[in-house]
């Protein structure tokens, strides 16, 4: 089997009305684009579908994270076209892949497409190529951005009716966080809750203040409450507040120091599929539960992550929710 072509599709798929923030909240939830520097709401950036075409007529699909990625996607395409099965080892494709955001998301898209192609060629699911599934069902949380307690209750009720058992919500210091958690538990008492401020509890004092406001609630996780380059703050918080703490990491070079310091209870991990499974195995051996992080993606990337999470045996609900909240999953 030989790669004969790469076809790229650029799409911009809106979020469903009311799927992100409450009315009046302005928060891009997205850093500037790593290639062009543009600053937009995350759902306004283009998404890309990669078709990896083989000489046997099969086509594998991949999807990177959002961004202005046409130039790097084309550069990687030039390097993979003409390669044969024997030249494309799973987990170590001959393509640049480092810790920087741009290279790992482009590599991941081509790895995803190659795994899809290999699975079709061999007649096996992708999780089989990642070591086999450790779990039969991958738990998923519902999701919302920042908002009012009333809108949070509405979203929690929606998630409950669909069949979800937990909710992840964005927030920052100064938001009505305790009121939102109370609103969730009013309509869905059994829901677990992940609060993700994207490091915007600011510092130890901010994180402790939010923790105190939530003392009456159980099953609440703080994800990336303070800047993640301050692992000493995570060590200081862990075990001294009632909430569990999670780090959201994309590199083994960030994961290893955190594990050595016992800086978190849980880990939300991104990264290429094979590496993610390896990292999750490592965190599980260290006694820490994991989940697969995502970025409000489309169906291709979401389904690849279901296979990766199954192979990793993720114990906590994952963020594989974008295909439900976008206008179309493609």
- Dump the DSSP string for 40-94: --GGGS-EEEEEEEETTS-EEEE---SSS-HHHHHHHHHHHTT-BGGG--TT--S
pLDDT per position as a tens digit, 162-202: 999 999 999 999 999 999 999 999 999 999 999 999 999 99
CA distance 216 to 182: 10
Q: Are residues 29 and 74 in the same domain?
A: yes
The CATH number of residue 56's host domain is: 3.30.390.10
Domain assignment of residue 40, yes or no: yes
Q: Which two tokens stand for residue 222?
A: 């703080």
CA distance 151 to 309: 30
pLDDT per position as a tens digit, 279-307: 999 999 999 999 999 889 999 999 999 99
Q: Are residues 50 and 89 in the same domain?
A: yes
Q: Which two tokens stand for residue 233?
A: 């703050």
Position 278 scores a pLDDT of 97
**Residue partners of 266: CB distance under 8 A and separation at least 6:** 221, 244, 245, 246, 247, 288, 289, 290, 291, 316
The CATH number of residue 259's host domain is: 3.20.20.120
Percentage, residues of the chain above pLDDT 70: 100
Q: Are residues 110 and 160 in the same domain?
A: no
Confidence of residue 101 (pLDDT cuts 50, 70, 90): confident
Q: Are residues 146 and 30 in the same domain?
A: no
Q: Are residues 150 and 31 in the same domain?
A: no
End-to-end CA, the chain: 27
Domain termination site, one of 64, 94, 129: 129
Domain assignment of residue 304, yes or no: yes
Q: Closest Cα to residue 311, out of 136, 139, 120? A: 136
Full strand arrangement of the beta sheet holding 3-11? 3-11, 47-54, 59-62
Pair 64, 45: CB distance under 8 Å: no
What is the gyration radius of the CA atoms in the chain, in angstroms? 20
Q: Are residues 211 and 103 in the same domain?
A: no
Domain assignment of residue 62, yes or no: yes
CA distance 192 to 181: 10
Domain assignment of residue 137, yes or no: no
- Angle (CA) 239-241-247 rounded to 5° is 70
Pair 43, 14: CB distance under 8 Å: yes
Position 182 scores a pLDDT of 99
Q: Are residues 187 and 305 in the same domain?
A: yes
Domain assignment of residue 136, yes or no: no
pLDDT per position as a tens digit, 207-245: 999 999 999 999 999 999 999 999 999 999 998 999 999
Domain assignment of residue 330, yes or no: no
Q: Closest Cα to residue 294, out of 66, 68, 111? A: 66
Pair 60, 46: CB distance under 8 Å: no
pTM score of the predicted model: 0.95
Position 133 scores a pLDDT of 98
Average pLDDT, the chain: 96
By residue range, what is the domain housing residue 191?
142-325
């Amino acid at each position: 089997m030989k790669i004969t072509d790469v076809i790229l599709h650029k799409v911009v798929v809106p979020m469903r009305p009311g799927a992100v923030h409450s009315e009046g909240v302005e928060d891009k939830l997205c850093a500037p684009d790593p290639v062009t520097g543009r600053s937009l709401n995350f759902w306004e950036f283009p998404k890309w579908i990669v078709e990896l075409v083989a000489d046997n007529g099969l086509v594998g699909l991949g999807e990177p994270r959002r961004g202005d990625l046409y130039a790097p996607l084309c550069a990687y395409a030039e390097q993979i076209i003409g390669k044969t099965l024997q030249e494309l080892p799973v987990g170590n494709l001959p393509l640049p892949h480092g810790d920087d955001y741009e290279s790992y998301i482009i590599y991941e898209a081509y790895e995803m497409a190659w795994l899809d192609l290999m699975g079709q060629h061999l007649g096996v699911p992708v999780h089989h190529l990642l070591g086999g599934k450790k779990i039969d069902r991958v738990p998923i949380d519902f999701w919302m951005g920042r908002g009012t307690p009333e809108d949070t209750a509405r979203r929690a009720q929606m998630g409950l009716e669909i069949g979800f058992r937990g909710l992840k919500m964005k927030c920052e210091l100064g938001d009505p966080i305790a009121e939102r958690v109370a609103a969730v538990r009013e309509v869905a008492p059994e829901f677990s809750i992940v609060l993700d401020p994207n490091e915007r509890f600011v510092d130890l004092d901010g994180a402790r203040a939010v923790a105190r406001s939530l003392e009456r609630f159980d099953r609440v996780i703080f994800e990336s409450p303070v800047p993640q380059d301050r692992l000493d703050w995570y060590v200081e918080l862990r075990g001294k507040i009632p909430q569990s703490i999670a780090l959201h990491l994309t590199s083994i070079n960030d994961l290893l120091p955190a594990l050595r310091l016992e800086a978190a209870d849980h880990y939300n991990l991104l990264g290429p599929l094979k590496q993610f499974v390896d990292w999750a195995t490592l965190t599980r051996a260290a006694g820490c539960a994991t989940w697969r992080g995502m970025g409000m993606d489309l169906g291709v990337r979401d389904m690849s992550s279901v296979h990766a999470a199954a192979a990793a045996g993720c114990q906590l609900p994952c963020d594989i929710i974008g295909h439900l909240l976008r206008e179309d999953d493609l």
